[in-house]
Amino acid sequence: MTGRVIVLNGGSSAGKSGIARCLQAVLPEPWLTLGCDTFVDALPASMTSSDAGIGIAADGEVSVGEGFRALEAAWIEGVAAMARAGANVVVDEVFLGGAASQARWEKALVDVPVLWVGVRCDPEVAAGRELARGDRAGGMAAGQAESVHQGVRYDMEVDTAGRESLECARAVAACLTERG
């Protein structure tokens, strides 16, 4: 039996990880949470310090090279394979390329039921969260707040600036239930 996938797309510090954890608590069946941070953390150190990998500038701008894209393609296919094997997966993602990023996931998930969720957050609120976290380059949250949504199609959107993660997760769970 094929599992299902919920893709949460939003900028840095938008609240995706909190929603993902709450989804694991409110959904009746088990769901794995995987995402861009999981993938980046799995990269060798050489991929975080070369033009082929991923780079984060002092202003929070993220750049990726060909080596990163090749490994990312394998990662996406692996997540899709887990869903095809029966795992339910929440994907916590940042579509740096907007619609092009979504297209890469759509291609891999062509035969898997997917709920596409836009996680929006006011850039100033996200920047405040970024500062409080202390583990992100300043400017990343504000820079990604809108750009990650450009050209992306969603089944639903949530705004975390005025809603708690649990409330957003319940809305996502309700949408998932409605879709069957």
Residues carrying an active site annotation: 37
| Single-letter amino acid, residue 37 | D
Q: Please, which residues have CB within 8 angstroms of residue 122's CB and are 6 or more apart in sequence?
A: 145, 159, 161
| Single-letter amino acid, residue 68 | F
Instruction: Give dist(CA 48, CA 74) in Å, integer.
Output: 18
Nearest to 2 by CA among 115, 85, 114, 109: 85
DSSP 3-state assignment of 35? strand
Cβ neighbours, 10 Å, residue 50: 13
